[in-house]
Amino acid sequence: MNLKKIKLIAVIGIFIISIISHFAYELFPNILFSFFFPINESIWEHMKILFTSTLLYGLIDYLLLKKNNIKYNNFSFQLYFTAFSSIPIYLVIYLPIYKLIEENLIISITLMILVYILEQYISYHILKEKEFKILNIISVPIIIIIYLGFIYLTYNPPHTYVFFDIINEKYGINEYKKIG
């Protein structure tokens, strides 16, 4: 198996993990899962799906690269960069569509798959580049900082439409706790 095939498989793998991620908190409603998986149906909470699914699949990606003796560079950087860049790419395309026609599951899923294809294309090229030493070193702390941002915004979301759960008409996890 070569790097191109591994990246094609990654698109499918990340998408499958995304489906599981969507329901993870609902199945296991606890504080740890609230950090990594969406706690409601807001647009913002769904960005955790893009980020977490890419990172989780990164473990499988790493094992496939090792198993197939594929030479690569910049694994930690490409993992951080593709996971993070998927969020603004998705939002820049999705938000104008959402403003026009509101929620549409087919558009959301299609866009998610297109973003995963793009991120794996980028990943492929980053892995083939010369080593980016400093970027590889700072990638893990940046991932932690991004999760700290997700955690903060899960518990303290601004009251804007991106953070609004249209199903339950609430913001963030703290409003759910008040009900129970």
Per-residue pLDDT at 44: 93
pTM of the model: 0.89
> Which has more confidence, 144 or 102?
144
Q: What is the mean pLDDT of residues 20-36?
A: 96
CA 10, CA 115: separation in Å to the nearest integer?
12
Per-residue pLDDT at 167: 86
Q: What is the mean pLDDT of residues 13-32?
A: 96
- Please list, in sequence order, all residues whose beta carbon lies within 8 angstroms of the beta carbon of residue 115, skipping any fewer than 6 positions away: 50, 86, 89, 90
pLDDT band at 105 (very low <50, low <70, confident <90, very high): confident
Per-residue pLDDT at 177: 54
Q: Average per-residue pLDDT in the chain?
A: 92
> Which has more confidence, 174 or 100?
100
Per-residue pLDDT at 176: 60
Query: Helical H runs in 40-132?
Result: 43-67, 75-101, 105-128
